[in-house]
Amino acid sequence: MSTSFDDTGVAMAYVLLSCAHGSDGKLGSRERNAIVERLAGSLDVVSASDLEHALSVAVKQYGGADVVERGGQLQSALDRLKADLSSVSAERFVRALIRVVDADEQVLPVERDFVLGVAQKLGVAVEVAESPA
């Protein structure tokens, strides 16, 4: 399944979904609600239907791809965001991604690494507090 992310909202939704679902293989209601809220806060969405469209397209693309394809799609989505987002918008998006990670009140190391990778790709500085061992 080849995908070009022609819509910034779909690219954002795909990255948020990839982090929320891909880290533990689950997408709980808290995470889904956080995705919707963060997507709404990150986009200049004029209507709820625009928001629902972006999320439904991202869910369809993510669900219809195998692990290798998901990696390629994630890279395409990040390339789109890198090209489209101003530095302020990129920072706001990374903060939104952090809130999605925090939604289930359990931050896994893979989620932390995902956020750091996205931030690096988008040129956003992020400080991460390591939990004591």
Q: What is the pLDDT along the chain (133 residues), one digit of tens a residue?
A: 445 688 888 999 899 888 877 655 666 777 777 777 777 777 765 577 888 888 888 888 988 888 899 999 999 999 999 999 999 999 989 988 888 888 777 788 888 899 999 999 999 998 765 544 4
**Domain extent at residue 48:** 8-122
Q: What is the pTM of this model?
A: 0.82
Q: Into how many domains does the chain fold?
A: 1
Output the pLDDT for position 131.
Answer: 47
Tokens of 95: 């903060």
Residue 76 covered by a domain: yes
Residue 3 covered by a domain: no
Output the pLDDT for position 87.
Answer: 92
What is the C-alpha separation between 34 and 69, in angstroms, rounded? 25
Output the pLDDT for position 82.
Answer: 95
Residue 128 covered by a domain: no
For the beta carbon of residue 108, count every other beta carbon within 10 angstroms: 12
What is the C-alpha separation between 67 and 129, in angstroms, rounded? 29
Question: Which of 19, 4, 6 lies closest to 121, judged by CA?
Answer: 19
Cα R_g (the chain), whole angstroms:
14
Output the pLDDT for position 2.
Answer: 46
Output the pLDDT for position 44.
Answer: 64
For the beta carbon of residue 114, count every other beta carbon within 10 angstroms: 20
3-state secondary structure of 107: coil
What is the C-alpha separation between 56 and 49, in angstroms, rounded? 10
Output the pLDDT for position 99.
Answer: 83
